[in-house]
Amino acid sequence: MRKLTIKKGIYKTNLLIDKYKFIIGNNEIQKLNLKRALKEFQVGLPLSEYEVENHNNVHIYLDDNELTQKKINIYFISPNYEFYQELKLQSKSILLKAIINELSDESYIETFLTIQSLTEMLCIQFNEGHDIKLRDIKISPTTFAKLIEPTLVIDDFEMNEFDLSIEEFICLQLDLIRQATSITKQENLIIVDCPIVTNKIQDKIKEISNSMIIVFCTTMQTDYQLNSCYLIDKFTIDLADEESIYERICNEILCVSNLKEGVNFMEEYVKIVLGLEDGKTVS
Q: What is the pTM of this model?
A: 0.89
Q: What is the pLDDT of residue 278?
A: 54
pLDDT tens-digit readout, 6-55: 999 989 999 999 999 999 999 999 999 999 999 999 999 898 998 888 88
pLDDT tens-digit readout, 72-88: 999 999 999 999 999 99
Residue-by-residue DSSP string for 231-263: EESSSEEETT-HHHIIIIIIIIII--S-HHHHH
Instruction: Label residue 233 by pLDDT band (50, 70, 90).
Output: very high
What are the contacts of 94-100 at 24+ separation with CB within 8 A? 94/173, 94/176, 94/177, 94/180, 95/150, 95/176, 95/180, 96/145, 97/179, 97/180, 98/176, 98/177, 98/179, 98/180, 99/141, 99/145, 99/148, 99/150, 100/141, 100/142, 100/145
Average pLDDT over residues 107-122: 94
Q: Return the percent helix, strand and coil in the chain, to nearest 5.
A: 45, 20, 35
Average pLDDT over residues 106-126: 94
**110 pLDDT above the threshold of 90:** yes
In angstroms, the CA 39 to CA 24 distance is 19
Instruction: Label residue 136 by pLDDT band (50, 70, 90).
Output: confident
Q: What is the pLDDT of residue 186?
A: 85
Of residues 61, 79, 57, the one with CA closest to residue 17:
61
Q: What is the pLDDT of residue 37?
A: 96
